[in-house]
Structure 1
Amino acid sequence: MPPNHRSRIRLLLLELLILLARKAGTRLRHRGSEAVCEYVDHLIGQYFREEFKLETVAHKTGIDKSRLCRLYRAGSGKTVMEALRLRRLREAAELLAHTDRTVSEICFGCGFNDLSYFYRAFTSEFAMNPGEFRRRRNKANCAGSAEFPVRGL
Protein backbone atom coordinates (compact mmCIF):
# COMPACT_ATOMS: atom_id res chain seq x y z
CA MET A 1 0.00 0.00 0.00
CA PRO A 2 1.52 3.37 -0.99
CA PRO A 3 2.54 5.59 1.97
CA ASN A 4 0.10 8.36 1.00
CA HIS A 5 -2.79 5.87 1.26
CA ARG A 6 -1.72 4.97 4.78
CA SER A 7 -1.60 8.65 5.73
CA ARG A 8 -5.05 9.20 4.28
CA ILE A 9 -6.47 6.19 6.12
CA ARG A 10 -4.91 7.40 9.37
CA LEU A 11 -6.38 10.86 8.84
CA LEU A 12 -9.82 9.39 8.19
CA LEU A 13 -9.56 7.31 11.35
CA LEU A 14 -8.61 10.42 13.33
CA GLU A 15 -11.58 12.28 11.87
CA LEU A 16 -13.79 9.36 12.86
CA LEU A 17 -12.40 9.40 16.40
CA ILE A 18 -13.15 13.10 16.72
CA LEU A 19 -16.66 12.67 15.32
CA LEU A 20 -17.39 9.72 17.61
CA ALA A 21 -16.18 11.63 20.66
CA ARG A 22 -18.32 14.59 19.67
CA LYS A 23 -21.42 12.48 19.05
CA ALA A 24 -20.99 10.54 22.28
CA GLY A 25 -20.64 13.80 24.20
CA THR A 26 -17.52 12.51 25.91
CA ARG A 27 -14.59 14.62 26.84
CA LEU A 28 -11.51 13.91 24.78
CA ARG A 29 -8.89 12.69 27.19
CA HIS A 30 -5.15 12.31 26.61
CA ARG A 31 -5.51 10.25 23.44
CA GLY A 32 -8.13 12.70 22.28
CA SER A 33 -5.72 15.60 22.58
CA GLU A 34 -3.14 13.60 20.63
CA ALA A 35 -5.71 12.96 17.92
CA VAL A 36 -6.69 16.63 17.86
CA CYS A 37 -3.02 17.67 17.59
CA GLU A 38 -2.40 15.23 14.78
CA TYR A 39 -5.48 16.36 12.87
CA VAL A 40 -4.72 20.07 13.38
CA ASP A 41 -1.11 19.48 12.26
CA HIS A 42 -2.47 17.81 9.15
CA LEU A 43 -4.72 20.81 8.46
CA ILE A 44 -1.79 23.19 8.99
CA GLY A 45 0.31 21.17 6.56
CA GLN A 46 -2.46 21.19 3.99
CA TYR A 47 -3.61 24.81 4.29
CA PHE A 48 -0.67 26.84 5.67
CA ARG A 49 -0.29 28.80 2.42
CA GLU A 50 -3.86 30.10 2.69
CA GLU A 51 -5.69 32.32 5.15
CA PHE A 52 -5.96 30.14 8.24
CA LYS A 53 -8.66 30.76 10.82
CA LEU A 54 -9.11 29.02 14.15
CA GLU A 55 -12.87 29.15 13.65
CA THR A 56 -12.55 27.01 10.53
CA VAL A 57 -10.32 24.48 12.30
CA ALA A 58 -12.74 24.35 15.23
CA HIS A 59 -15.63 23.74 12.84
CA LYS A 60 -13.73 20.95 11.06
CA THR A 61 -12.93 19.23 14.36
CA GLY A 62 -16.35 19.79 15.89
CA ILE A 63 -14.75 21.27 19.00
CA ASP A 64 -15.31 24.84 20.14
CA LYS A 65 -12.41 27.20 19.52
CA SER A 66 -11.27 27.71 23.11
CA ARG A 67 -11.35 23.99 23.88
CA LEU A 68 -9.50 23.22 20.66
CA CYS A 69 -6.79 25.70 21.64
CA ARG A 70 -6.46 24.18 25.13
CA LEU A 71 -6.30 20.62 23.78
CA TYR A 72 -3.74 21.54 21.13
CA ARG A 73 -1.54 23.40 23.59
CA ALA A 74 -1.76 20.54 26.11
CA GLY A 75 -0.79 18.02 23.45
CA SER A 76 1.86 19.97 21.56
CA GLY A 77 3.22 22.56 23.97
CA LYS A 78 2.46 25.41 21.59
CA THR A 79 -0.56 27.25 20.27
CA VAL A 80 -2.18 26.46 16.94
CA MET A 81 -1.05 29.82 15.59
CA GLU A 82 2.54 29.22 16.76
CA ALA A 83 2.51 25.87 14.97
CA LEU A 84 1.16 27.56 11.84
CA ARG A 85 3.84 30.26 11.98
CA LEU A 86 6.60 27.64 12.41
CA ARG A 87 5.27 25.60 9.47
CA ARG A 88 5.25 28.69 7.28
CA LEU A 89 8.76 29.65 8.40
CA ARG A 90 10.12 26.14 7.72
CA GLU A 91 8.67 26.26 4.22
CA ALA A 92 10.13 29.73 3.68
CA ALA A 93 13.57 28.52 4.82
CA GLU A 94 13.39 25.59 2.38
CA LEU A 95 12.42 27.90 -0.48
CA LEU A 96 15.16 30.39 0.40
CA ALA A 97 17.72 27.59 0.42
CA HIS A 98 16.63 25.84 -2.76
CA THR A 99 15.01 28.38 -5.09
CA ASP A 100 15.77 31.76 -6.62
CA ARG A 101 12.35 33.19 -5.75
CA THR A 102 12.43 36.63 -4.16
CA VAL A 103 11.94 37.03 -0.43
CA SER A 104 8.67 38.81 -1.14
CA GLU A 105 7.38 35.97 -3.33
CA ILE A 106 8.34 33.44 -0.67
CA CYS A 107 6.74 35.50 2.09
CA PHE A 108 3.36 35.74 0.39
CA GLY A 109 3.58 32.24 -1.10
CA CYS A 110 4.00 30.75 2.37
CA GLY A 111 0.86 32.39 3.70
CA PHE A 112 2.26 35.51 5.35
CA ASN A 113 0.39 38.67 4.42
CA ASP A 114 2.84 41.23 5.81
CA LEU A 115 6.45 41.40 4.63
CA SER A 116 7.62 43.30 7.74
CA TYR A 117 6.08 40.70 10.04
CA PHE A 118 7.68 37.93 7.96
CA TYR A 119 11.13 39.53 8.35
CA ARG A 120 10.66 39.89 12.13
CA ALA A 121 9.34 36.34 12.57
CA PHE A 122 12.06 34.84 10.38
CA THR A 123 14.83 36.76 12.14
CA SER A 124 13.46 35.79 15.53
CA GLU A 125 13.29 32.10 14.60
CA PHE A 126 16.57 31.73 12.68
CA ALA A 127 18.66 34.51 14.27
CA MET A 128 19.25 36.10 10.85
CA ASN A 129 17.14 37.79 8.22
CA PRO A 130 15.96 35.89 5.12
CA GLY A 131 18.63 37.38 2.83
CA GLU A 132 21.44 36.45 5.21
CA PHE A 133 19.94 32.98 5.64
CA ARG A 134 20.00 32.49 1.86
CA ARG A 135 23.59 33.77 1.54
CA ARG A 136 24.83 31.51 4.33
CA ARG A 137 22.92 28.51 2.98
CA ASN A 138 24.32 29.09 -0.52
CA LYS A 139 27.84 29.50 0.87
CA ALA A 140 27.47 26.29 2.91
CA ASN A 141 26.09 24.42 -0.12
CA CYS A 142 28.92 25.64 -2.37
CA ALA A 143 31.51 24.57 0.19
CA GLY A 144 29.93 21.11 0.23
CA SER A 145 29.42 21.22 3.96
CA ALA A 146 26.61 19.62 5.88
CA GLU A 147 23.26 21.29 6.28
CA PHE A 148 23.50 24.70 7.87
CA PRO A 149 22.08 24.36 11.37
CA VAL A 150 19.08 26.50 12.22
CA ARG A 151 17.08 26.76 15.41
CA GLY A 152 13.64 26.23 13.93
CA LEU A 153 14.24 23.20 11.72
Structure 2
Amino acid sequence: MFNRITEDNFRNIQLPRQSSLVNFSSFRELRTDVLFRSFSLKFVLEGCEQYLIDGHLFKVSKGDFLLGNHFSDGKLLIQSDEDVKGLCIDISPDIIAEVSAGFHFPELTEQDLDFEKYLISENFVENKYHFSQNIIGQQLSKISQQIVGQQHYNFDFSPEFYYRLAENIVSIHYPGFLRIKNLKTVKSHTRKSLYRKIQSARDYIDLHFATIQNIESVARESSISEYHFYRLFRQIQGESPYQYITQKKLQFAKQLLKDKSLSLTDVAFICGFTDLSSFSKNFKKHFRIPPGQFR
Protein backbone atom coordinates (compact mmCIF):
# COMPACT_ATOMS: atom_id res chain seq x y z
CA MET A 1 0.00 0.00 0.00
CA PHE A 2 1.22 3.50 -0.90
CA ASN A 3 -0.38 6.83 0.04
CA ARG A 4 0.32 10.52 -0.46
CA ILE A 5 -0.93 12.36 2.63
CA THR A 6 -1.47 16.11 3.00
CA GLU A 7 -3.48 18.46 5.22
CA ASP A 8 -6.37 18.10 2.74
CA ASN A 9 -6.84 14.33 3.06
CA PHE A 10 -5.20 13.49 6.40
CA ARG A 11 -8.46 13.17 8.35
CA ASN A 12 -10.11 11.02 5.69
CA ILE A 13 -7.48 8.29 5.33
CA GLN A 14 -7.82 5.17 7.47
CA LEU A 15 -4.61 3.16 7.62
CA PRO A 16 -4.39 -0.44 8.88
CA ARG A 17 -2.35 -1.24 11.96
CA GLN A 18 0.44 -3.83 12.11
CA SER A 19 0.73 -4.03 8.34
CA SER A 20 3.31 -3.01 5.75
CA LEU A 21 2.84 0.25 3.85
CA VAL A 22 4.58 3.41 2.63
CA ASN A 23 3.30 6.97 3.11
CA PHE A 24 4.66 10.18 1.60
CA SER A 25 3.48 13.24 3.54
CA SER A 26 3.57 17.01 3.16
CA PHE A 27 2.40 19.33 5.97
CA ARG A 28 2.99 22.83 7.24
CA GLU A 29 1.06 22.39 10.47
CA LEU A 30 0.14 19.19 12.26
CA ARG A 31 -0.46 18.26 15.89
CA THR A 32 -1.45 14.66 16.46
CA ASP A 33 -0.72 11.51 18.38
CA VAL A 34 2.36 9.70 17.15
CA LEU A 35 1.22 7.08 14.66
CA PHE A 36 3.54 4.12 15.01
CA ARG A 37 1.09 1.56 13.67
CA SER A 38 3.71 -1.17 13.18
CA PHE A 39 7.48 -1.08 13.29
CA SER A 40 7.89 2.32 11.65
CA LEU A 41 10.55 4.50 10.08
CA LYS A 42 9.96 8.27 9.92
CA PHE A 43 12.30 9.89 7.38
CA VAL A 44 12.30 13.69 6.91
CA LEU A 45 13.07 14.99 3.43
CA GLU A 46 12.43 18.70 4.05
CA GLY A 47 11.94 20.69 7.25
CA CYS A 48 11.63 19.29 10.76
CA GLU A 49 9.23 16.95 12.58
CA GLN A 50 9.22 16.92 16.39
CA TYR A 51 8.28 13.73 18.23
CA LEU A 52 7.69 13.57 21.98
CA ILE A 53 7.86 9.89 22.97
CA ASP A 54 7.70 8.82 26.61
CA GLY A 55 8.87 12.30 27.65
CA HIS A 56 11.85 12.21 25.27
CA LEU A 57 11.98 14.85 22.49
CA PHE A 58 13.27 13.85 19.05
CA LYS A 59 13.84 16.69 16.58
CA VAL A 60 13.94 14.89 13.26
CA SER A 61 15.35 17.29 10.67
CA LYS A 62 16.11 16.96 6.97
CA GLY A 63 18.10 13.79 6.36
CA ASP A 64 17.25 12.28 9.77
CA PHE A 65 15.04 9.28 10.41
CA LEU A 66 13.42 7.91 13.55
CA LEU A 67 12.62 4.27 14.29
CA GLY A 68 9.98 3.07 16.73
CA ASN A 69 7.34 0.38 17.14
CA HIS A 70 3.67 0.28 18.16
CA PHE A 71 4.66 0.70 21.83
CA SER A 72 6.12 4.14 21.03
CA ASP A 73 3.38 6.46 22.29
CA GLY A 74 3.56 10.24 22.17
CA LYS A 75 2.87 13.36 20.14
CA LEU A 76 3.95 14.71 16.76
CA LEU A 77 4.32 18.44 16.03
CA ILE A 78 4.92 20.05 12.65
CA GLN A 79 4.90 23.83 12.42
CA SER A 80 6.56 25.57 9.48
CA ASP A 81 6.14 28.29 6.87
CA GLU A 82 7.35 25.81 4.25
CA ASP A 83 6.16 22.31 3.41
CA VAL A 84 7.63 19.68 5.71
CA LYS A 85 8.00 16.53 3.63
CA GLY A 86 8.48 13.07 5.02
CA LEU A 87 8.41 9.38 4.28
CA CYS A 88 6.86 6.89 6.70
CA ILE A 89 7.40 3.17 6.18
CA ASP A 90 5.52 0.65 8.30
CA ILE A 91 6.78 -2.93 8.46
CA SER A 92 4.44 -5.52 9.91
CA PRO A 93 5.52 -7.13 13.22
CA ASP A 94 5.26 -10.53 11.52
CA ILE A 95 7.95 -9.60 8.99
CA ILE A 96 10.21 -8.13 11.69
CA ALA A 97 9.80 -11.24 13.86
CA GLU A 98 10.38 -13.59 10.92
CA VAL A 99 13.56 -11.81 9.83
CA SER A 100 14.84 -11.54 13.42
CA ALA A 101 14.35 -15.27 13.95
CA GLY A 102 16.05 -16.21 10.69
CA PHE A 103 18.97 -13.82 10.84
CA HIS A 104 22.30 -15.39 11.78
CA PHE A 105 24.69 -13.73 14.20
CA PRO A 106 27.89 -15.63 15.04
CA GLU A 107 27.71 -14.38 18.63
CA LEU A 108 24.05 -15.33 19.15
CA THR A 109 23.65 -17.99 21.84
CA GLU A 110 20.62 -19.73 23.24
CA GLN A 111 20.19 -17.24 26.06
CA ASP A 112 20.10 -14.40 23.49
CA LEU A 113 17.00 -15.67 21.72
CA ASP A 114 14.96 -12.82 23.23
CA PHE A 115 16.28 -10.78 20.31
CA GLU A 116 13.62 -12.40 18.12
CA LYS A 117 11.00 -10.42 20.05
CA TYR A 118 13.04 -7.34 21.01
CA LEU A 119 12.25 -5.08 18.03
CA ILE A 120 8.49 -5.53 18.42
CA SER A 121 8.38 -5.34 22.21
CA GLU A 122 8.09 -2.47 24.69
CA ASN A 123 11.81 -2.95 25.40
CA PHE A 124 12.84 -1.49 22.03
CA VAL A 125 14.50 1.91 22.37
CA GLU A 126 13.58 4.47 19.73
CA ASN A 127 16.58 5.57 17.68
CA LYS A 128 17.29 8.61 15.52
CA TYR A 129 19.91 8.48 12.77
CA HIS A 130 21.14 10.60 9.88
CA PHE A 131 20.69 8.85 6.54
CA SER A 132 24.46 8.85 5.96
CA GLN A 133 25.12 6.76 9.09
CA ASN A 134 23.99 3.35 7.87
CA ILE A 135 22.54 1.25 5.08
CA ILE A 136 18.95 1.87 6.25
CA GLY A 137 19.38 5.57 5.52
CA GLN A 138 20.82 4.83 2.10
CA GLN A 139 17.79 2.71 1.28
CA LEU A 140 15.40 5.43 2.51
CA SER A 141 17.21 8.11 0.53
CA LYS A 142 17.02 6.08 -2.67
CA ILE A 143 13.30 5.34 -2.44
CA SER A 144 12.42 8.91 -1.40
CA GLN A 145 14.19 10.29 -4.48
CA GLN A 146 12.08 8.03 -6.67
CA ILE A 147 8.85 9.10 -4.96
CA VAL A 148 9.65 12.82 -5.13
CA GLY A 149 10.75 12.50 -8.75
CA GLN A 150 7.51 10.76 -9.83
CA GLN A 151 4.82 12.75 -8.04
CA HIS A 152 1.86 11.21 -9.86
CA TYR A 153 3.03 7.61 -9.92
CA ASN A 154 1.18 5.09 -7.75
CA PHE A 155 4.00 2.97 -6.35
CA ASP A 156 3.57 -0.69 -5.47
CA PHE A 157 6.11 -2.10 -3.01
CA SER A 158 6.77 -5.83 -3.10
CA PRO A 159 7.27 -8.05 -0.02
CA GLU A 160 10.95 -8.22 -1.00
CA PHE A 161 11.25 -4.46 -0.37
CA TYR A 162 10.02 -4.83 3.21
CA TYR A 163 12.12 -7.94 3.84
CA ARG A 164 15.31 -6.21 2.68
CA LEU A 165 14.57 -3.20 4.87
CA ALA A 166 13.81 -5.48 7.83
CA GLU A 167 17.12 -7.31 7.32
CA ASN A 168 19.02 -4.03 7.52
CA ILE A 169 17.10 -2.97 10.63
CA VAL A 170 17.80 -6.28 12.36
CA SER A 171 21.52 -6.31 11.54
CA ILE A 172 22.05 -2.75 12.77
CA HIS A 173 20.08 -3.09 16.00
CA TYR A 174 21.50 -6.34 17.33
CA PRO A 175 24.49 -4.53 18.94
CA GLY A 176 22.06 -2.14 20.65
CA PHE A 177 20.12 -5.11 21.98
CA LEU A 178 23.29 -6.50 23.57
CA ARG A 179 24.08 -3.12 25.13
CA ILE A 180 20.64 -2.88 26.71
CA LYS A 181 21.02 -6.40 28.07
CA ASN A 182 24.23 -5.29 29.77
CA LEU A 183 22.35 -2.81 31.96
CA LYS A 184 22.06 -4.23 35.45
CA THR A 185 18.45 -3.22 36.07
CA VAL A 186 15.21 -5.18 36.13
CA LYS A 187 12.51 -2.77 35.00
CA SER A 188 12.15 -2.33 31.24
CA HIS A 189 11.16 1.34 31.56
CA THR A 190 14.22 2.10 33.71
CA ARG A 191 16.49 0.27 31.26
CA LYS A 192 15.14 2.28 28.33
CA SER A 193 15.47 5.55 30.25
CA LEU A 194 19.11 4.89 31.16
CA TYR A 195 19.95 3.77 27.62
CA ARG A 196 18.42 6.98 26.23
CA LYS A 197 20.54 9.06 28.61
CA ILE A 198 23.72 7.39 27.40
CA GLN A 199 22.55 7.76 23.80
CA SER A 200 22.11 11.50 24.39
CA ALA A 201 25.55 11.68 26.01
CA ARG A 202 27.10 9.90 23.05
CA ASP A 203 25.40 12.33 20.65
CA TYR A 204 26.69 15.25 22.75
CA ILE A 205 30.23 13.85 22.61
CA ASP A 206 29.98 13.35 18.85
CA LEU A 207 29.21 17.07 18.45
CA HIS A 208 31.55 18.53 21.08
CA PHE A 209 34.42 16.05 21.57
CA ALA A 210 37.09 18.62 20.62
CA THR A 211 35.98 21.10 23.30
CA ILE A 212 34.98 18.78 26.16
CA GLN A 213 37.16 19.62 29.17
CA ASN A 214 36.12 16.83 31.52
CA ILE A 215 33.70 13.91 31.85
CA GLU A 216 31.78 15.70 34.58
CA SER A 217 30.38 18.18 32.03
CA VAL A 218 29.09 15.32 29.85
CA ALA A 219 27.53 13.58 32.85
CA ARG A 220 25.83 16.84 33.77
CA GLU A 221 24.29 17.04 30.29
CA SER A 222 22.81 13.59 30.93
CA SER A 223 21.55 14.47 34.43
CA ILE A 224 23.57 11.58 35.89
CA SER A 225 26.22 11.66 38.59
CA GLU A 226 29.76 11.36 37.26
CA TYR A 227 30.40 7.95 38.83
CA HIS A 228 27.05 6.55 37.66
CA PHE A 229 27.74 7.94 34.18
CA TYR A 230 31.15 6.25 33.99
CA ARG A 231 29.63 2.93 35.02
CA LEU A 232 26.63 3.09 32.64
CA PHE A 233 28.68 4.30 29.68
CA ARG A 234 31.12 1.43 30.06
CA GLN A 235 28.29 -1.12 30.41
CA ILE A 236 26.56 0.10 27.27
CA GLN A 237 29.47 1.15 25.02
CA GLY A 238 32.02 -1.40 26.15
CA GLU A 239 34.58 1.36 26.76
CA SER A 240 35.00 4.35 29.06
CA PRO A 241 33.78 7.82 28.06
CA TYR A 242 37.41 8.97 28.02
CA GLN A 243 38.31 6.22 25.55
CA TYR A 244 35.32 7.10 23.35
CA ILE A 245 36.23 10.81 23.32
CA THR A 246 39.88 10.08 22.56
CA GLN A 247 38.89 7.81 19.67
CA LYS A 248 36.67 10.57 18.21
CA LYS A 249 39.56 13.04 18.45
CA LEU A 250 41.96 10.65 16.75
CA GLN A 251 39.58 9.85 13.90
CA PHE A 252 39.12 13.60 13.35
CA ALA A 253 42.89 14.10 13.45
CA LYS A 254 43.30 11.42 10.79
CA GLN A 255 41.11 13.50 8.46
CA LEU A 256 42.87 16.78 9.27
CA LEU A 257 46.31 15.32 8.60
CA LYS A 258 45.37 15.10 4.92
CA ASP A 259 45.53 18.91 4.87
CA LYS A 260 49.24 19.65 4.39
CA SER A 261 48.71 23.33 5.27
CA LEU A 262 48.06 22.37 8.92
CA SER A 263 51.01 21.73 11.20
CA LEU A 264 50.96 18.83 13.65
CA THR A 265 50.52 21.35 16.46
CA ASP A 266 47.53 22.87 14.66
CA VAL A 267 45.92 19.44 14.28
CA ALA A 268 46.56 18.62 17.93
CA PHE A 269 44.85 21.76 19.24
CA ILE A 270 41.96 21.66 16.74
CA CYS A 271 41.17 18.13 17.93
CA GLY A 272 41.24 19.16 21.57
CA PHE A 273 44.55 17.72 22.75
CA THR A 274 46.37 19.78 25.38
CA ASP A 275 49.73 19.61 23.61
CA LEU A 276 51.57 18.03 20.69
CA SER A 277 53.22 15.40 22.87
CA SER A 278 49.88 14.07 24.15
CA PHE A 279 48.47 14.01 20.61
CA SER A 280 51.49 12.19 19.15
CA LYS A 281 51.55 9.62 21.93
CA ASN A 282 47.83 8.79 21.57
CA PHE A 283 47.97 8.77 17.76
CA LYS A 284 50.92 6.36 17.67
CA LYS A 285 49.31 4.09 20.27
CA HIS A 286 46.04 3.92 18.33
CA PHE A 287 47.29 3.75 14.71
CA ARG A 288 50.78 2.28 15.39
CA ILE A 289 52.42 5.06 13.42
CA PRO A 290 53.48 8.61 14.40
CA PRO A 291 51.24 11.38 12.98
CA GLY A 292 54.19 12.84 11.07
CA GLN A 293 54.72 9.57 9.18
CA PHE A 294 50.98 9.14 8.54
CA ARG A 295 51.18 12.05 6.13
Q: Deviations over 1:47-75 (max 9, x none)?
A: 11214322211221111111011110000
For residue 101 of structure 1, report the CA deviation from its aligned partner: 0.9
Q: 2: CA distance between counterparts of 1:52 and 1:81?
A: 11
TM-score, normalised by the number of residues in structure 1:
0.68
3-state SS of 1:50 partner: coil
Question: 1:100 aligns to what?
Answer: 261
Q: 1: CA distance between counterparts of 2:46 and 2:281?
A: 37
Question: 2:206 aligns to what?
Answer: 45
Question: 1:20 aligns to what?
Answer: none
Does residue 12 (structure 1) correspond to residue 173 (structure 2)? The answer is no
Q: Which runs of 4+ in 1 moved over 6 A?
A: 8-11
Q: 2: CA distance between counterparts of 1:50 and 1:4?
A: 29
Choose between structure 1 and 2: higher helix proportion: 1
Structure with greater Cα Rg? 2
Give the 5 Å matches for 1:16-27: none
Q: 2: CA distance between counterparts of 1:62 and 1:114?
A: 31
Give the length in aligned residue pairs: 123
Give the 5 Å matches for 1:110-125: 110-125=271-286
- Provide closer, same or farther for how the CA distance between residues 94 and 58 of structure 1 changes in structure 2, counting only shifts above 3 A: same
Question: 1:141 aligns to what?
Answer: none
Contact 1:36/1:71 (<8 A) preserved: no
Question: 2:105 aligns to what?
Answer: none
Q: Relative contact order (C-alpha < 8 Å, sep 6+): which is higher?
A: 1
Unpaired runs of 5+ residues, structure 1, are 18-25, 135-153
One-letter amino acid of the structure 1 residue matched with residue 213 of structure 2: F
- Provide closer, same or farther for how the CA distance between residues 28 and 76 of structure 1 changes in structure 2, counting only shifts above 3 A: farther
Question: 1:71 aligns to what?
Answer: 232
Contact 1:54/1:65 (<8 A) preserved: yes
- Provide closer, same or farther for how the CA distance between residues 72 and 101 of structure 1 changes in structure 2, counting only shifts above 3 A: same
Q: CA RMSD in A?
A: 3.0
Q: Deviations over 1:19-72 (max 9, x none)?
A: xxxxxxx89744344323321211111111214322211221111111011110
- Provide closer, same or farther for how the CA distance between residues 98 and 38 of structure 1 changes in structure 2, counting only shifts above 3 A: farther
Does residue 89 (structure 1) correspond to residue 250 (structure 2)? The answer is yes
TM-score, normalised by the number of residues in structure 2:
0.37
Q: 2: CA distance between counterparts of 1:84 and 1:122?
A: 13
Residue 270 of structure 2, aligned match among 105, 109, 127: 109
